[in-house]
Amino acid sequence: MNEAGTSGAVDSRMDIHQILDYLPHRYPILLIDRVLELVPGVRITALKNVSVNEPFFPGHYPHHPVMPGVLVVEAMAQSAAILSFKTMGSKPKDDSVYYFVGIDNARFKKPVGPGDQLVLEVTIQAIKRGIWKYSGTAKVDGRIAAQADLICTLRPTP
């Protein structure tokens, strides 16, 4: 057993319908299309297909569309949320929200654009007093596009 109390067995892949059960996000902010691998208490690998039809591309930037870095980090955080809920053996409820508490060491190495497949790899680093710390990497074609350390927590809604 690991720290989260799970055996570390690999869960099956998740399609968009299963993802919608684990994230409260909806269009246009839902940034996960598929989960490729998930080991509760350990790691997740998820996928975001980046389409030219994304609502941010007309304004960021019209002459050279680039996915905003904050949305790449948000995609990592959504992956982390799925991993956390699967680790806890629960699903989000209307009386709580999974919040960002901090983002450290964010680095952007390669622009993400239309037609890219963003592969999100998030690993749990620590869980202490309801605070979850993760290491996240976003890759395109096997090359790192972005990486960051994420800190999140589940809190009651006000």
All structural domains of the chain: 16-156 (3.10.129.10)
On whether the pTM is more than 0.75, the answer is yes
Whether the pLDDT of residue 9 is over 90: the answer is no
**pLDDT tens digit string along 33-55?**
999 999 999 999 999 999 999 99
Tokens representing residue 86 in the block: 């699967």
Per-residue pLDDT at 26: 96
Q: Among all residues, which ones are annotated catalytic?
A: 60
